[in-house]
Amino acid sequence: MSRFQTISAPCGLAVLMGEHGQALASTYTPRDGDPVSLTAVWGAELVEEDAVREGTRQFQTRTVLVSTDPDSPHGGVTDPALEDRITHPDGTVWSVADFLARSGVYAKLIVTRSQMTGMRRHDLQRDRRGSKVRDPRRFQT
């Protein structure tokens, strides 16, 4: 890190967290540790959909800026790691997939999650006993 970065990074991070962060509203949970409340700046969400046999799977990706100084007024995580979890203020849980940047005072994380968003029609049609999936194509003449 340059001398400029060393001097200005803590000041710049404080301004970013104060202006764009949601104060101590996120929770960072390491794989083998205790949850930590912290301020995070959440980036926009990118959503990709993929058709799978069961329906549609949604893959969501976004960036998160967190402090790496646990003693800062914004909270922080000393050593963020892959597969750790971070909870958005709305309650959704994201998994750390990669790092965009790391410095002495912050880490910019790439976090992901996936979910099923829809089922195909024939998966919802069941016979009277409710045990077997009925294929609507077999009833066509």
Q: 87: domain CATH number? A: 2.40.10
Mean pLDDT of 39-61: 86
Mean pLDDT taken over the chain: 77
**Which has more pLDDT, 19 or 70?**
70
The secondary structure element, H or E, covering residue 60 is strand 55-67
- For residue 88, the enclosing domain spans 3-139
Determine if residue 75 is left, alpha or beta; phi over 0 gives left, psi from -120 to 50 gives alpha, anything else beta: left
Q: How far apart (Å, rounded) are the C-alpha atoms in residues 109 and 80?
A: 9
Q: How confident is residue 75, by pLDDT bands cut at 50, 70 and 90?
A: confident
pTM of the predicted protein model:
0.70
- Closest CA relative to residue 60, chosen from 114, 116, 97, 108: 114
The tally of domains found in the chain comes to 1
Give dist(CA 13, CA 108) in Å, integer: 12
Res. 36 pLDDT band, cuts 50 70 90: very high
Name 28's bridge partners: 36, 86
Six-digit token string for 82 = 């892959």
3-state class (DSSP) for residue 7: helix
The confidence score (pLDDT) of residue 30 equals 94
What's the pLDDT at 7?
A: 62
